[in-house]
């Protein structure tokens, strides 16, 4: 078998066999196939695509390229959730302990911030002492003990994905739906997940900008999961404005604690209960909806409606917050230090952005807010960049609200004046305020859920 012949076949629109795909993946890993030929194959896939069988085979071969995490046999199935990335997206921090409190076992492999999108691991790292990189054995033990664990991808898990993603990044082939699908599913199923809920975000702050593009990815994820005998539910959610009120690492941990402490846990003091804060309506809806699907896939409720009721009950009775605290302790963190920092840990340079005129908030551009976060140090321009734990932005209004002149729109936290100046310039352009003659709130959907896909024909 020759790599050049495989490249010609895919370049001309052919379907690659299991043997051909295995030859390419393993040849790339062992060095027998050079990077320039794999680059050519990636570009051929970008233009010619892959069918459902090819994508499934590629996913299997990527899983087989490294170790898989062996979780205990006592609790089945193991259910995970993955987001395609957004701004202010702290859903995993709330969803994982909430699903665990409902009896679902959640092995969650998460990522770090890159570009305008935040990273779950960076948020967890802002908790004093928290260890976000776990050995596979410890990861499995914490899932068994606590109900969920959160870790990053180790060098032993899906090494083919690590090499291919780096190559896709420099060959303009990141946006290929088959390659995205194989990348996501290989990592999730290698970690031990047996079912998956996908949050496919759509809008200015998302990777997929249109519902049509998001649906194509969602369909590929559901169909490829089925070809691997794994159930995947894909939910399309809006990402035109940041999710919730906070954008930042510790800020988003704090907001997650606020939601998880919905029963007004005595140890925590917040100005306003999470359920009555309009700024958190989107975060609550998306989180509860996705958690409910995890509960259904985990066999803990008969349908989505019953699962929603169960998730809401576990928020109210404090079970979800107790699960969160148990995980913090199990992964080396200090709950006492975490709680002591709530409302306190902020970068020292503070600025409030205010309106010049009154009107209606027509838009809060998620991408601009995300890039302002990068200016402050929330995220990264390059994978090797470091992040700041206590910087970020707090939205004080949401889209559709009427504002008067000089109303605070958001509060920014920076470590220095240079970073603050860059973030202010970026953030000012994110808010579009319509004139008072607009006559009311901006029309918008009553739901942040666009569509959900499962069991496709």
Catalytic site residue from 80, 89, 125, 161: 161
Examine the residue annotation and report whether 188 is marked as an active-site residue of this protein. no
> Measuring CA to CA, which residue among 452, 360, 399, 92 is closest to residue 240?
399
Catalytic site residue from 176, 183, 256, 319: 183
d(CA 142, CA 96): 13
Direct distance between the N- and C-terminal alpha carbons of the chain, in angstroms, rounded to an integer: 35
> Measuring CA to CA, which residue among 371, 338, 134 is closest to residue 247?
371
Main-chain phi, psi angles of 188, to 5 degrees: -65, -40
Contact 80, 139 (CB under 8 A): no
> Measuring CA to CA, which residue among 344, 372, 368 is closest to residue 431?
368
Examine the residue annotation and report whether 183 is marked as an active-site residue of this protein. yes
d(CA 168, CA 58): 15
- Look up residue 169 and give its DSSP letter: H
| 300 CB-side CA count, 13 A | 25
Q: What angle do CA 249, 251, 255 make, to 5 degrees?
A: 120
Total residue count of the chain as it appears in this document? 457
d(CA 70, CA 140): 7
Catalytic site residue from 116, 187, 223, 289: 187
> Measuring CA to CA, which residue among 124, 114, 128 is closest to residue 85?
114
CB atoms within 10 A of CB 434: 16
Examine the residue annotation and report whether 199 is marked as an active-site residue of this protein. no
Examine the residue annotation and report whether 187 is marked as an active-site residue of this protein. yes
Catalytic site residue from 81, 123, 162, 168: 168
Contact 208, 200 (CB under 8 A): yes
Catalytic site residue from 82, 162, 289, 346: 82
d(CA 311, CA 346): 31
Examine the residue annotation and report whether 39 is marked as an active-site residue of this protein. no
Contact 62, 233 (CB under 8 A): no
Task: List residues with catalytic annotation.
Answer: 82, 161, 168, 183, 187
């Amino acid at each position: 078998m020759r790599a050049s012949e495989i490249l010609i076949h895919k370049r001309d629109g052919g379907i690659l066999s299991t043997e051909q795909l295995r030859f390419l993946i393993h040849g790339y890993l062992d060095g027998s196939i050079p990077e320039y030929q794999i680059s050519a194959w990636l570009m051929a896939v970008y233009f010619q695509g892959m069918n459902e069988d090819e994508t499934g085979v590629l996913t299997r071969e990527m899983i087989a390229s490294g170790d898989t995490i062996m979780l205990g046999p006592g609790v089945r199935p193991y259910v995970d959730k993955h987001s395609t990335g957004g701004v202010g997206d702290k859903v995993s921090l709330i969803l994982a302990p909430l699903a665990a409190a409902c009896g679902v076992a959640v092995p969650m492999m998460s990522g770090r911030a890159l570009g305008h999108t935040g990273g779950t691991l960076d948020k967890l790292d802002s908790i004093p002492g928290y260890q976000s990189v776990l050995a596979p054995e410890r990861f499995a033990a914490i899932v068994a003990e606590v109900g969920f664990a959160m870790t990053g991808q180790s060098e032993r898990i899906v090494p083919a994905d690590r090499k291919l993603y780096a190559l896709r990044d420099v060959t303009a082939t990141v946006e290929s739906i088959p390659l995205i699908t194989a990348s996501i599913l290989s990592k999730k199923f290698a970690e031990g997940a047996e079912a998956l809920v996908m949050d496919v975000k759509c809008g200015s702050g998302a990777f997929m900008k249109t519902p049509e593009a998001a649906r194509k990815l969602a369909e590929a994820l559901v169909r490829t999961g089925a070809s691997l005998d794994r159930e995947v539910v894909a939910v399309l959610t809006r990402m035109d404005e940041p999710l919730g009120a906070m954008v930042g690492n510790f800020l988003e941990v704090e907001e997650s604690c606020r939601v998880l402490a919905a029963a007004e846990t005595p140890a925590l003091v917040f100005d306003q209960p999470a359920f009555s804060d309009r700024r958190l309506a989107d975060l609550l809806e998306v989180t509860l909806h996705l958690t409910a699907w995890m509960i259904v896939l985990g066999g803990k409720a008969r349908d989505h409606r019953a699962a929603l009721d169960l998730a809401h009950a576990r928020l109210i009775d404090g079970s979800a917050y107790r699960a969160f605290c148990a995980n913090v302790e199990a992964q080396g963190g200090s709950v006492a230090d975490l709680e002591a920092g709530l409302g306190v840990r902020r970068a020292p340079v503070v600025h409030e952005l205010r309106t010049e005129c009154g009107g209606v908030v027509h838009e809060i551009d998620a991408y601009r807010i995300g890039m302002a976060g990068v200016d402050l140090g929330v995220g990264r321009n390059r994978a090797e960049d470091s992040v700041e734990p206590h910087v970020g932005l707090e939205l004080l209004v949401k889209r559709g609200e009427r504002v008067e002149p000089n109303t605070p729109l958001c509060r920014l936290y920076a470590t220095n004046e240079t970073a603050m100046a860059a973030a202010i310039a970026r953030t000012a352009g994110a808010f579009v305020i319509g004139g008072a003659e607009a006559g009311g709130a901006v029309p918008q959907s009553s739901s942040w859920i666009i569509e959900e896909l499962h069991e496709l024909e």
